[in-house]
């Protein structure tokens, strides 16, 4: 099973991907996470991507498609892939077709998380993650059970992304509208797009996605 989670920044792609990984043993392929790791490691890709990401603009199609190909090659052939934050442009969507075909994989579903843009700034500015295991949280919508302690691993260290500020979010939303939303018709024409109400509670969104995958 190979699926794309599609939606603007803050739609809940990462949150739902983490749950699918836990529940179904699929792999989350987040180009954002891969790029942040490259920035942290100071690789040539990271050096190129850093300023672009800080502005909230898109990193080049070649870079992100190469990262996706490498990640797929590191996975077992029967491990399902959840594409989170990729593809984001028509060129990336075309590249993904080739990347999947070369590896004998098929795209099963494109799950569009449908959200109200007005909610996204609050979601993004309240977002934080465990510095140890990467589990995602929100100041208001998904708090740790014990204040200051990660539910999953017990760590007391958390981090926030430098690009999760209101100004950058506006640029990221504009990039989504201009470059990413237009790829939906490509998948729509193949009959593989399913919309999920991303404004529902996190657990309800998970249930809706599970019922799509069960079909
Ligand atoms: P994305 O990966 O699409 O950018 P995230 O999954 O990181 O989005 O979600 C952004 C923030 O909003 C996180 O802090 C997350 O806890 C919170 N969040 C995710 N889904 C929901 C939801 N359905 N309702 C309320 N808050 C949510
Ligand atoms: P979010 O889910 O909140 O939109 P991501 O973690 O997916 O954020 O992406 C963070 C940043 O990394 C983006 O603003 C962009 O600069 C870069 N990025 C991530 N994925 C891609 C991609 N597929 N194509 C181009 N740039 C990307
Ligand atoms: Zn943790």
| Three-state secondary structure of the chain | CEEEEECCCCCCHHHHHHHHHHHHCCEEEEHHHHHHHHHHHCCHHHHHHHHHHHHCCCCCHHHHHHHHHHHHHCCCCCCCEEEECCCCCHHHHHHHHHHHHHCCCCCCEEEEEECCHHHHHHHHHCEEEECCCCCEEECCCECCCECCECCCCCCCCEECCCCCCHHHHHHHHHHHHHHHHHHHHHHHCCCCEEEEECCCCHHHHHHHHHHHHCC
Please say whether the beta carbons of 114 and 208 come within 8 A. Answer: no
The CB density around residue 152, as the number of other CB atoms within 10 Å, is: 13
Cα–ligand 3 centroid distance for 139 (angstroms)? 15
Nearest CA to ligand 1 atom 22: 202
Compute the half-sphere exposure of residue 167: CA atoms within 13 Å on the CB side of its CA: 4
Cα(68) to centroid(ligand 1), Å: 23
Confirm or reject: Cβ of 4 under 6 Å from ligand 2.
no
Q: Which ligand is nearest to the CA of 58?
A: 2
Residue 215 confidence class, pLDDT cut points 50, 70, 90: confident
Residue 184 has what pLDDT?
A: 97
**Per-residue pLDDT reduced to its tens digit, 150-202:** 999 999 999 999 999 999 999 999 999 999 999 999 999 999 999 999 999 99
Contact present, 125 and 118 (Cβ < 8 Å): no
Q: What is the pLDDT of residues 8-21, one digit of tens each?
A: 999 999 999 999 99
Pairing of strands 81-84, 127-130: unpaired
The CA distance from 164 to 201, in Å, is 21
62 CA distance to ligand 1 middle (Å): 27
For position 158, what pLDDT does the model report? 98
Mean per-residue pLDDT of the chain: 97
Q: Is residue 10 in contact with ligand 1, taking CB distance under 6 Å? A: yes
Among this protein's residues, is 13 annotated catalytic? yes
Record the pTM. 0.97
Of 34, 29, 1, nearest to 17 (Cα)? 29
Q: Is the CB of 119 under 6 A from ligand 1?
A: no
């Amino acid at each position: 099973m190979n699926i794309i989670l599609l939606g603007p920044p803050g739609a809940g792609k990462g949150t739902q991907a983490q749950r699918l990984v836990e529940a179904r043993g699929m792999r989350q392929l987040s180009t954002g996470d891969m790029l942040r790791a490259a920035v942290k490691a100071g690789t040539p890709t990271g050096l190129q991507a850093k300023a672009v990401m800080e502005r909230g603009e898109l990193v080049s199609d070649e870079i992100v498609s190469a990262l996706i190909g490498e990640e797929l090659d590191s996975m077992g052939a029967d491990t399902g892939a959840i594409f989170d934050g990729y593809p984001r442009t028509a060129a990336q969507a075309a590249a993904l077709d080739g990347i999947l075909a070369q590896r004998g994989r098929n795209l099963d579903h494109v799950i569009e998380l449908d959200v109200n843009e007005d909610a996204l700034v609050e979601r993004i500015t309240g977002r934080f993650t465990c510095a140890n295991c990467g589990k995602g949280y929100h100041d208001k919508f998904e708090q740790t059970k014990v204040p200051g302690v990660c539910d999953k691993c017990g760590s007391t260290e958390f981090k926030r992304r430098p690009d999760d500020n209101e100004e950058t979010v506006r640029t990221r939303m504009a990039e989504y509208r201009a470059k990413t939303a237009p790829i939906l018709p490509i998948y729509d024409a193949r009959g593989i797009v399913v919309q999920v109400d991303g404004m529902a509670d996190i657990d309800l969104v998970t249930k809706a996605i599970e019922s799509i995958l069960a079909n």
